[in-house]
Amino acid sequence: MRRLKAQVSHLFLPLSVLGLLIVINLIKGADYFSLTVVNGALYGNIPNILFGASELVVLSIGMALVTAASQGQDIGIGASATITSAVFVMFVLNAGEVTWLTITAGFLISCVAGLVIGAFNGILVSGFKVQPMVATLILFMGGRSIAFMIDGKLSPILANDISNQIGTVIPGVPIQTPIILTAVFIALAAVVLKTTNLRLYIESVGINPSAARLNGINPKKIIFLTFLIMGICTAVAGFIAVNKAGRHDSVNLLKFIMMDAILAVAIGGNSLSGGKFSITGSIIGAYTIEILNRTLLRLEVQTETIPAFKAVFIIILMAVASPVVREYAQKILQRVRTMGVSGTERKTGTPNDEAVTSPNTPGKEEE
């Protein structure tokens, strides 16, 4: 019970932001939750959000693990996913006839490519003790060129039924396939984290590597492992993205997704300097970002102004969640409590309540 409470307070920030965005959307139009069935599949705002955020969710899971263990972020994920998807596309196109078998084999091979990329980054970070951001900067700079060399600069087109079905809908299944794939991946991650000691190890390495080492956990191995998992995540994300797009465009595939993935981890209430992590939080954070993007479009904000709005939103969010503001809010709350009605037992509100319900106070300072 106590653990549940702690978890809920951890998820308070992402959930309240999600709620706020949904309320804004409902004010804009009451038909926000409406669903329509087209050709036997569900469409509407919610399925579209789940569909659009699928790669981001997969990547934010890996990013949460990497951030927790190595106290840094992987900024090369977009480029890595481009490489793995290039491997997948070239395998499928060279295989001749496209069947489920070749698609599966191509996916597995792209997973191997992802593992190689993860091992490259992991060796740099764990073996050579390079900061993760710097180590992944290498692939960020060179990755898309490598993808270009693999796919031969032609941006090959995946024109077959099966990848079309993976990218959109399998006939007879009412839910779009990327959503199902994402759900399967989330379930797998949950099973792995629940049944193994991985979470404990990653958290202890992230909080204090030398203490973890003294307790018999090898920090190098754990950090290396998180980068391998990140490699698998990039392979899955690349697979989903390339099937969605229907062609392999080395320049624009998953461009700038690392920003969104890091943001998702941060919105999810995870510390970007390692330690405890919450996969649920980062998944909710990823969906929140997708909803934010779509809300801004729905409010008819011009496309070119969207980044500025997003930035203001992030700044307000992070300012509200910052420890200094929280402490300040707690102090004010205490003063109000002692000055106000002292006899009656008041409902104890967490300091987060105060901070979140008045998001404009810290926002003033930067405008």
Partner 1 sequence: MESLNAAKPRKRLSNSNLLFIIAGVIFVLMYLFAIINFPGSFMQFQTFFDLFNLNAPLIILTLGLSIVMIGGGIDISIGSVLGLVTMACAVLLQSAIGSVWGALLLALGIGIAFGILQGFLIAYLKIQPFIITLAGLFLAKGLLTTLHKDPINVTNSAFVSLRDFRITIPWLGTENRLGRFIPCEIRPGVIIVVVLVVLLAVLMKWTRFGRNVYAIGGNEQSARMLGINVKRTRFLTYVLCGLTAGIGGFVFLMTTGAGNVGNGSLFELKAIAASIIGGVLLNGGVGNLLGAPIGTLTLLIINELIRVSGVQSNFQAIVSGLLLYLFIVLQSVVMSLRDRRKFKITLPPWLKPPWLKLPWLRGKKKAENQG
Q: Which residues bind partner 1 (CB under 8 A)?
A: 73, 124, 128-131, 133-135, 137-146, 148-149, 259, 262-263, 266, 272-273, 302, 304-312, 314-315, 318-319, 322-325, 362, 365-366
User: Strand, helix or coil at 338?
Assistant: helix
Burial state string for 49-69 with b = 16 or more CB within 10 A and e = fewer than 16: bbbbbbbbbbbbbbbbbbbbb
CA 339 remoteness from chain centre: 43
Number of CB atoms found within 10 A of residue 130's CB: 17
Cβ-based nearer residue to partner 1, 32 or 148: 148
Nearer to partner 1, 124 or 179 (CB): 124
Looking from the CA of 268 toward its CB, the CA atoms found within 13 Å total 28
Minimum CB separation of residue 349 from partner 1 in Å reads 22
HSE-up of residue 4 (Cα within 13 Å, Cβ side): 1
Q: Which is nearer to partner 1, 186 or 259 (CB)?
A: 259
Asked if 181 and 175 count as a contact pair (C-beta separation under 8 A), the reply is no
Listing DSSP states for 217-266 in one string gives --HHHHHHHHHHHHHHHHHHHHHHHHHHHSB--TTTTTTTHHHHHHHHHH
**Least distance (Å) from partner 1 to the CB of residue 64?**
14
Identify which of residues 50 and 257 has a Cβ nearer to partner 1 in the complex.
Answer: 257
> What distance in Å separates the CA atoms of residue 7 and residue 96, rounded to the nearest whole number?
50
Measured from the CB of residue 112, what is the shortest distance to partner 1 in angstroms?
21
Q: Please state, in angstroms and as integers, the Cα–Cα distance from residue 87 to each residue in 83, 115, 144, 213, 237, following that order.
A: 6, 13, 12, 37, 13
Please identify, using beta-carbon distances, which residue of 198 and 260 lies nearer to partner 1: 260
Nearer to partner 1, 53 or 150 (CB): 150
Q: Which long-range contacts (CB under 8 A, 24 or more apart) does 42-45 make?
A: 42/174, 42/175, 42/176, 45/294
Q: Taking the complex as a whole, how short is the minimal distance between the CB of residue 192 and partner 1, in angstroms?
A: 27
Minimum separation from the CB atom of position 263 to partner 1 (A): 7
Partnered with residue 41 across adjacent β-strands are: 38
Q: Which is nearer to partner 1, 111 or 124 (CB)?
A: 124
Compute the CA torsion angle 317, 318, 322, 324 (nearest 10 deg): -80
The least CB distance from residue 340 to partner 1, in Å, is 27
C-beta of 245 vs 355, nearer to partner 1: 355
For the bound state, the minimum distance from the C-beta of residue 149 to partner 1, rounded and expressed in Å, comes to: 6
| Nearest distance from C-beta of residue 144 to partner 1, angstroms | 7
**Of how many residues is the chain composed?**
367
